[in-house]
Amino acid sequence: MNCSCMKISEMRQRPRRNRKSASIRAMVQETRLSLDQLIYPLFLVEEENAIIPIVSMPGINRWGIETMLKEITECVDLGITNFILFPAVDDAKKDTYASYSLDKDNFYLSAARRIKASFPEITLISDVAMDPYSSDGHDGLVINGEIVNDETLPILCAMAVAQAEAGFDLVGPSDMMDGRVGAIRDALDDAGYTQIGIMAYTAKYASAFYGPFRDALDSAPKLGDKKSYQMNPANVRESLIEAELDEMEGADFLMVKPALCYLDVIHVLKSNSNLPIAAYNVSGEYAMLKAAAERGWIDYKRAMPEMLLSIARAGADVILTYFAKEYAQSISES
């Protein structure tokens, strides 16, 4: 067959040459993923020896502090160095003001102390938001059916200071209230915690992909949705407004959440900020792949690292992912 567009002899560029062997492919690989970049989310319950599977997140459990210490040991042995901790709080302890979050001896803060005492070298990240402790299930304070902004800030500040006191290395405000990064930065500095960083959930979208997480924490909003504070999935330029504010207010990391449907947002933030960019590969993204794998509809062993690599390729320096442990296992096997 004759090719009319170009004679064979004129074809000087042959991209396939750089794909011809495993060693050449590896040499020219543009994106590499290291365990150092991953953060493994862990769910904590009060009962100290608990191991409670999360049905919509196969392979992920809620742990008590005793079982969690063992889980962290396994992860550290596999090379994971960063963890983010979320509490699943009994309904009986929830109230309008999320008061339990400020109780210095609550099981979340006590666990952080134990974890940091056993593993001083790891980076432990907190969750700053009212929803795990709120009887309304919202990230901010609800007054007369409205999620109020400014009245929420002192609660978030007190929560962040309590977490710094308990030994968290970074606090992670996931609430999307306006001005919370600056308010938390001031509160931490005033309390002497100038070295505790803020991983800001900068562009957090009102996403359907948080469903399994809300099952895990039993933290779904009792009334309404989170659209008056989390971002509209249709918007990307708005993420730059959030990024500029978080940067000005003193954030140490900017986060995009979820990750896979928002790779363009990750790319835009990476191109517009010199701060490290984190991406949260959320519960629904994990659940989708697990469900397809369970049915034999997808090759999990290949699809999982492909997902993580795509998030890194889009520009994420850091990835929060429920796949972290299995990814670490797959590396240590190969």
Q: Which residues carry out catalysis?
A: 204, 257
- Candidates 129, 153, 256, 324; binder of ligand PBG (CB under 6 A) is 129
Min dist CB 24 to ligand PBG, Å, is: 38
Site residues (CB under 6 A) for ligand PBG, limited to 265-294: 282-283
Asked if 324 touches ligand PBG (CB under 6 A), the answer is no
Paired strand residues for 95: 134
The residue among 126 and 174 lying less far from ligand PBG, judged by its C-beta, is: 174
38, amino acid identity: L
CA dist 247 and 238 (Å) reads 14
Give the number of other Cβ atoms within 10 Å of residue 36's Cβ.
10
**CB-based contacts of 3, cutoff 8 Å, min separation 6:** none
State whether residue 10 is helix, strand or coil: helix
Q: Which residue has the tokens 């896979």?
A: 260
CA dist 74 and 76 (Å) reads 6
Asked if 323 touches ligand PBG (CB under 6 A), the answer is no
Min dist CB 154 to ligand PBG, Å, is: 18
Binders of ligand PBG: how many residues, by CB under 6 A? 12
Asked if 126 touches ligand PBG (CB under 6 A), the answer is no
Min dist CB 147 to ligand PBG, Å, is: 12
Give the number of other Cβ atoms within 10 Å of residue 209's Cβ.
23
- Residue 248 host element (H or E): helix 237-249
Site residues (CB under 6 A) for ligand PBG, limited to 194-223: 210, 213-214
Residue whose Cβ sits closest to ligand PBG:
213
Site residues (CB under 6 A) for ligand PBG, limited to 168-197: 174-175
CA dist 116 and 85 (Å) reads 12
Lay out the site mask for ligand PBG across 7-46 (x = CB under 6 A, - = otherwise). Answer: ----------------------------------------
- Candidates 131, 136, 246, 247; binder of ligand PBG (CB under 6 A) is 131
Residue 94 to residues 79, 106, 138, 219: CA-CA distances in angstroms? 36, 12, 11, 10
Residues that bind ligand PBG (CB under 6 A): 127, 129, 131, 139, 174-175, 210, 213-214, 226, 282-283
